[in-house]
């Protein structure tokens, strides 16, 4: 995919009223359009305080002033997109900015599509794909931690690690392929042990990056957390308590919650998407049954499950309902945190026993809630101090796939199936390349940049 050769324009500041609003142009006509709008000769990288004129009237040829502000000119290749860029910094009113935009469109620019400035920056090798994504993530960051991590990625910390790994893989690939192409030549072949070590080193580096990326994704996209349990276990009370708001109805009547109740909170910089669900039981009416089906679907979908049991009822079994719930949870036990509710109603010695099995909490006294929050963070391996780069699901999928191919490659190498080995290494190499955009397809680029805002 090559950059289009036309000139694009967009309002690059957020819609609404603001002290300043920016219209940005990128492409070969930028300078000539700007010189017509300002009626001035512009120097590179010098802020010019000037009138912005509307397109001359066709009949009278008169120019009317639209606004007054700064005009900046960044000649290619030293600009964000690598092309000629013009920025008009005017007053931030919707009408005035739209008039200015209309003027530059009349003079030959076309409206930019979402993310097109960043796409051009990528196509002109100003940034790689992971950095382009980081721009969008930085703009949409919901927490300080997310913003900090997005900046890390934007500065290329993530890309650098991927590229270093990419290099190592190329080296191994070239070496192995050479040894396949010229088996009888006396090249200084690596010994079996050395190849083995190289495989191990690449795999363990990949594991480390994958691990960091998974945590980065949590910071970026948040963690979905479902609250599951029998009726009256205290699910809705816990949701309200974590959200610090009376969102879900709480009563002592079993079957109060039927629809899913969703809310978003932040836990030390991690966005949490909380879902309260209908209590699991048999013999529910048709509406509640639908609620229970939705609860089951949340068990599959969410990253973490808080399985709530009333601490007074731990030893009283509602056999059938308990069994149904347990059957549903069993495949997902690695994402389950067991929570025992209402500890304000329980004997201290019982609480000690419950501590061995899960987290005892009381929303009445607040007991155990800090511990629960810590458990949630531990579940995703989150530590505050660490420098984490932001990652997306796409990156994690590529890394996971690359790892699989690498493991397969090593097996092929051991089995001396050299053709398959070369294929696996090639695929692993391509997958890593996709992350930073060394290899990319129009579809992939379309997917990524279409989710950007216009003007970025
Ligand atoms: N004493 C006490 N009662 C609680 C606690 N949590 C919930 N309850 C009560 O248990 C009942 C059921 O709570 P609710 O949150 O609606 O349970 P759900 O059906 O699982 O959503 C209500 O009467 C709540 O007031 C708690 O920590 N301590
Ligand atoms: Mg409820």
Dump pLDDT digits (tens) for 69-95: 999 999 999 999 999 999 999 999 999
Which letter does DSSP use for residue 234 in this model?
S
Q: How far apart are CA 162 and CA 429, in angstroms?
A: 11
Q: Which two tokens stand for residue 257?
A: 């919650």
Q: Which ligand is nearest to the CA of 344?
A: 1
| Token duo for residue 83 | 């092309």
- The tens digit of pLDDT for each residue in 287-321 reads 999 999 999 999 999 999 999 999 988 876 667 78
Find the 301 Cα to ligand 1 centroid distance in Å: 25
As a whole number of angstroms, the distance between CA 351 and CA 355 comes to 6
The two structure tokens encoding residue 221: 């996209």
Question: Does residue 189 surpass a pLDDT of 60?
Answer: no
The number of beta carbons lying within 10 Å of the beta carbon of residue 366 is 11
pLDDT digits (tens, 9 = 90+) for 408-439: 999 998 888 888 888 999 999 999 999 999 88
| Nearest ligand (C-alpha, residue 252) | 1
Q: How many H-runs (helices) and E-runs (strands) does the chain carry?
A: 15, 12
Q: Decide: 39 and 53 in contact? Cβ < 8 Å.
A: yes
- CB-ligand 1 contact for 368 (6 Å cutoff): no
Residue 184: per-residue pLDDT: 61
In the reported structure, the alpha carbon of residue 321 is separated from the centroid of ligand 1 by a whole-number distance in angstroms of 18
Domain spans in the chain, listed from the N-terminal domain onward: 8-127, 141-160+180-399
Q: Is 141-160+180-399 assigned to CATH 3.40.449.10? A: no
pLDDT at residue 192 greater than cutoff 80: no
| pLDDT band (50, 70, 90) for residue 15 | confident
- Name the CA dihedral angle for 73, 76, 77, 81, rounded to a multiple of 10 degrees: 80
In angstroms, rounded to a whole number, what is the distance separating the alpha carbons of residues 202 and 431?
A: 14
Token pair of 305 as six digits: 């499950």
Cβ distance 56 to 62 under 8 Å?
yes
From atom 16 of ligand 1, which residue's Cα is the shortest distance away?
Answer: 250
Rounded Cα–Cα distance for residues 178 and 411 (Å): 19
Residue 385 burial (CB count, 10 A): 5
Whether residue 175 has pLDDT greater than 70: yes
The whole-chain average pLDDT of the chain stands at: 89
Cβ of 250 below 6 Å from ligand 1: yes
The answer on pLDDT for 226 being more than 80 is: yes
pLDDT of res. 452: 81
- Strand, helix or coil for residue 276: strand
Question: Which residue CA neighbors atom 12 of ligand 1 most closely?
Answer: 232
- The pLDDT confidence band at residue 382, using thresholds 50, 70 and 90, is low
Ligand that comes closest to the CA of residue 250: 1
What are the DSSP calls for 159-200, one per residue?
HHHHHHHHHHHHHHHHHHHHHHHSTTS---PPPHHHHHHHHH
Q: What is the CATH number of domain 8-127?
A: 3.30.1360.120
Q: What residues are paired with 145 via a beta bridge?
A: none
Helix ranges (DSSP H) in 222-314: 235-243, 286-301
332: DSSP letter: G
Contact assessment for residue 434 and residue 424, using Cβ atoms and an 8 Å cutoff: no
Could you list the beta-strand ranges (E) of 312-409.
Answer: 336-341, 359-360
């Amino acid at each position: 995919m090559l950059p289009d050769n036309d000139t694009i324009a967009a309002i690059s500041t957020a819609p609404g009223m603001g002290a300043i609003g920016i219209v940005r142009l990128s492409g070969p006509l930028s300078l000539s359009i700007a010189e017509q709008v300002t009626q001035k000769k512009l120097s590179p990288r010098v802020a010019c305080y000037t009138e912005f004129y509307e397109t001359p009237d066709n009949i009278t040829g008169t120019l009317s002033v639209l606004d007054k502000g700064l005009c900046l000119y960044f000649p290619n290749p030293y600009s964000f997109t690598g092309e000629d860029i013009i920025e008009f910094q005017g007053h931030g009113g919707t009408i005035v900015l739209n008039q200015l935009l209309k003027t530059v469109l009349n003079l030959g620019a076309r409206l930019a599509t979402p993310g097109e400035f960043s796409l051009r920056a990528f196509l002109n090798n100003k940034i790689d794909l992971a950095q382009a994504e980081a721009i969008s993530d930085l703009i949409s960051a919901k927490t300080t931690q997310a913003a900090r991590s997005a900046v890390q990625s934007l500065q290329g910390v993530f890309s650098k690690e991927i590229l270093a790994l990419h290099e190592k893989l190329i080296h191994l690939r070239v070496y192995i392929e050479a040894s396949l192409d010229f088996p009888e030549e006396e090249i200084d072949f690596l010994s079996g042990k050395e190849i083995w070590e190289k495989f191990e080193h690449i795999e363990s580096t990949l594991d480390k990056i994958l691990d960091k990326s998974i945590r980065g994704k949590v910071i970026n996209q948040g963690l979905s957390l479902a609250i599951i349990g029998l009726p009256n276990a205290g699910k809705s009370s816990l949701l309200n308590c974590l959200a610090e708001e009376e969102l879900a109805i709480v009563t002592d009547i079993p079957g109060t919650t039927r629809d899913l109740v969703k809310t978003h909170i932040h836990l030390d910089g991690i966005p949490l998407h909380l879902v309260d669900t209908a209590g699991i039981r048999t013999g529910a009416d048709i509406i509640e049954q639908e609620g229970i089906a939705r609860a089951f679907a949340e068990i599959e979908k969410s990253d973490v499950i808080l399985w709530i049991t009333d601490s007074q009822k731990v030893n009283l079994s509602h056999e059938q309902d308990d069994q149904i719930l347990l059957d549903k949870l069993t495949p997902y036990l690695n994402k389950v945190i067991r929570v025992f509710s209402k500890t304000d109603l329980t004997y201290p010695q019982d609480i000690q026993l419950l501590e061995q099995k899960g987290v005892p909490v009381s929303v009445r006294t607040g007991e155990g809630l800090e511990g629960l929050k810590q458990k949630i963070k531990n579940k995703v391996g989150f530590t505050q101090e660490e420098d984490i780069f932001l990652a997306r699901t796409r990156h994690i999928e590529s890394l996971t796939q690359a790892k699989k191919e690498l493991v397969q490659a090593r097996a092929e190498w051991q089995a001396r199936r050299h053709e398959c080995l070369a294929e696996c290494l090639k695929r692993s190499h391509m997958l890593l390349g996709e992350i930073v955009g060394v290899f990319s397809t129009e579809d992939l680029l379309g997917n990524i940049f279409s989710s950007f805002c216009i003007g970025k």
